[in-house]
Chains A and B, each alone.
Chain A
Amino acid sequence: MQRKKSPLFVAPALIIYTFLMIIPIIGAFALSFTNWNGISRDYQFSGIKNYTAMFSDERFLNAVFVTLRIMLTVCVSVNVIGLFTAVLLNKARRFTNALRSVFFLPYVISTVAISFIWLSILSYTGILNSVLTSVGLEAIVNDYIGNTKGALRSICLIEIWRIMGFHMVLYLASIQTVPEELYEACIVDGGSGWDSFRYVTLPMIVPGATVSVIMSVMTEMKQYDIVKVITNGGPGYSTETISYNIVTQAFGNNMLGYSSALAVFLFVFIAVISILQLKLSARWEV
């Protein structure tokens, strides 16, 4: 009986993956120890200079700070709003499925298209200011994305709107696995609606919530598209995220060695979170 499988089964995937994914990653590590500018043929080994330089690079530190700010705001918001909406949606039984699809819709549309929709609303010449003017609220007409604070808030708002539905669906799936008997037991014991949420729903959805939080952290660490469309990193470089900074240093300023070091930094950060995620989900066996 022929049971052995030909190694040809695994070969195509292995070749494509090694050639276009693993070798480039190794290449990035190698480049991160050089001062290559992408044009000249020769470049020097510069040791860990790129890695020490990034910690005194104000522009990069600002990008880290901006990324963390966006991450914190978006993660807290989408998880709180997502859970809240999921609980409501779960109770409004007749509409659960239809409304689930409505809230999920932005998640399937390209981020570039979504950013342009919001740009048309939030720009100085955009829809929001037109509406405010026409109802006589000229006083609060503002160039929302023209200043750093407003631009960051706008980016967060757009991202929250885009991924909220996804996290709501994750929570909804979690909530729907909670056995009905637990709620009944809670009511029999004289628990209120809040009690059944606090002592039944919340503890039961911890695994799902962990996945949801980690997913949102990972997505926001890589934020690029919205910043590119809405502010292009500006004003100045005040709204640049880590990914945006890496791409600009590499493809705008030709600092390939340095940008590779920044990318390795991001990689290590994300790898730590991934390992944490694997450890946690193994413990809870979702």
Chain B
Amino acid sequence: MKTKKNKGETILSVIVILLAVIFFIPLYLAVINIFKTTDVIRSKPVSLPIPPTLDNIISVLTDPNVQIWKMYFNSLCITIFGAGICILVSAMAAYYLARRTDRGAKAMYVYFLFGLMVPYVIVYVPLVTMFSRLHIPLSLPTLIFVFVSGSISFSVFMFYAFIHTLPRDLEEAAIIDGAGQWTLFLRIVMPLIKPCTTTVAIFIGLSMWNDFLTPLLIGQIKTITVGIYTAIGPYASDWGSVFAYVMFATLPIAVTYVFAQKQFISGLTAGALKG
């Protein structure tokens, strides 16, 4: 019985590993072909790059029209400040709403949740119109606040649910010890909601880093996604540099993912399972 079961498990394992290998082919191609010239990619697309060449990477890095570092700077600013501001203001709001029982607070919570149902494509036209009427430039800081506004619903929703499960004992103890409400929030509540903050940070941080349409329409800010899109152009066939651009767009995320797979997977599915 036992050996039969083990044998079945081995066969299953072989099948899933095979599936995973097939599944991985596009990524394998994307990695090996970074190190080949476009001619070699055309003639030998699936073989290992021997001898490897760094031409693609160098040409991307030295192209004066491209400025990879500027793209990284824009994307990093958006991700760090966008996610940071969003987490701070949403945690504050969720704390305020979750610790009140009156109807006004309930109504305001529902008001915040409304954004979860909205397809974001609806706000671009009014947003751009509004900015031009108010003479607000379509710059990086503007874009950061647009990203913040787009993630507030989700963040408030997550923090609200989490704070509801927290006992109030610690807060009450701190109040007796004479802590003011801001100290209480920063020193007691923020550390307690850290697991939730990680989840929210991964979810909204990744969505900001990977977003394409928002920076494209709000001022054509060259984030890494808009940047590689405009650099490659819609009708590219210089595959060598395409793969180099793809590498620059994915490397930071892929490396982070390798070191924090568990947090990424649970962070990205938590929202779905709670929703």
Given the known interface contacts A17-B115, A110-B225, the answer about A120 and B242 at a Cβ–Cβ threshold of 8 Å is yes
Per-residue contact bits, chain A 98-133, to B (CB 8 Å; 1 contact, 0 not): 011111111111111100111111010111001100
A275 and B152 CA atoms in complex are apart in Å by: 19
Task: Give every chain B residue within 8 A of A111 (Cβ-Cβ).
Answer: 210, 212
Q: From residue 210 to 247 of chain B, which have CB atoms closer than 8 A to chain A?
A: 210, 212-213, 217, 224-225, 228-229, 232, 234, 237, 239, 242-243, 245-246
- Please name all residues of chain B whose beta carbon is closer than 8 Å to the beta carbon of A74 when the two chains form the complex: none
* A173 contacts B by Cβ under 8 Å: yes
Interface size counted on chain B using CB atoms at 8 A = 95
Q: Is the CB of B265 within 8 A of A17?
A: no
- Taking a contact as CB atoms under 8 Å apart, the answer to whether A123 and B237 are in contact is yes
Contact pick for B93, options A13, A116, A251, A270, CB 8 Å: A13
B125–A28 contact, CB under 8 A? Answer: yes
When the two chains form their complex, are residues A23 and B275 in contact, meaning their CB atoms are under 8 A apart?
no
Chain A residues lying within 8 Å of B19, measured Cβ to Cβ, are 85, 88
The segment from A178-186, A198-206, A222-230 found at the interface with B is A222-230
Segment from B37-45, B53-61, B65-73, B190-198 that makes contact with A: B37-45
Q: How far is the CA of A92 from the CA of B272 in the complex (A)?
A: 25
Are B96 and A281 within 8 A (Cβ)? no
Q: How far is the CA of A237 from the CA of B35 in the complex (A)?
A: 36
Asked whether, in the complex, the Cβ of B23 is within 8 Å of the Cβ of A102, the reply is yes
CB distance from A13 to the nearest CB of B (A): 4
Interface locus among A46-54, A148-156, A242-250: A242-250
How far, in Å, is A158 (CB) from chain B's closest CB?
Answer: 9
Given contacts A101-B261, A211-B273, contact A247 B23 (CB under 8 A): no
Residues in B whose Cβ lies below 8 Å from that of A118: 26
Least CB distance, B11 to chain A, in whole angstroms = 9
Q: A247-B217, A266-B121 are in contact. Are A117 and B92 (CB under 8 A)?
A: no
How far is the CB of B141 from the nearest CB of chain A, in Å? 13
Contacts A94-B13, A263-B121; A109 near B225 (Cβ below 8 A) = no
Check A45 for interface membership: any CB of B closer than 8 A: no
Taking CB atoms, residues of chain A closer than 8 Å to B126 are 23-25, 27-28, 31, 260
| Bound complex: CA A264 to CA B122 (Å) | 7
Contact with A along B151-172 (1 / 0, CB 8 A): 0110010000000000000000
In the bound complex, residues from chain A placing their C-beta under 8 Å from that of B108 are 10, 14
Contact residues in B for A225 (Cβ distance below 8 Å): 212-213
List which A179-236 residues lie within 8 A (CB) of chain B.
208, 211-212, 215, 221-222, 224-225, 228-229, 232
Name the interface size band of chain A: 35 or more
A7 CB within 8 Å of chain B: yes
Given A127-B41, A224-B213, A5 contacting B96 (CB threshold 8 A): yes
Q: Is B16 an interface residue (CB 8 A)?
A: yes
Mind listing 18 A-B residue pairs with CB under 8 Å? A13-B92, A13-B156, A21-B149, A24-B130, A28-B125, A28-B126, A88-B15, A91-B12, A92-B9, A92-B13, A102-B24, A108-B268, A113-B225, A116-B228, A117-B26, A126-B239, A222-B121, A247-B213
**Contact residues of B with A, CB < 8 Å?**
8-9, 12-13, 15-17, 19-20, 23-24, 26-27, 29-30, 33, 41-43, 45-46, 88-90, 92-93, 95-97, 99-100, 108, 111-112, 114-127, 129-130, 145-146, 148-150, 152-153, 156, 175-176, 180-181, 185, 206, 209-210, 212-213, 217, 224-225, 228-229, 232, 234, 237, 239, 242-243, 245-246, 249-250, 253-254, 257, 261, 264-265, 268-269, 272-275
Q: Closest 8 interchain pairs by CB?
A: A27-B126, A20-B149, A9-B96, A24-B126, A13-B93, A110-B210, A263-B122, A24-B123
Interface residues of A (CB under 8 A from B): 1-3, 5-7, 9-10, 12-14, 16-17, 19-25, 27-28, 31, 38, 85, 88-89, 91-95, 99-113, 116-121, 123, 125-127, 130-131, 134, 161, 164, 166, 169-170, 173, 208, 211-212, 215, 221-222, 224-225, 228-229, 232, 243, 246-247, 250-251, 256, 259-260, 263-264, 266-267, 270-271, 274-275, 277, 281, 286
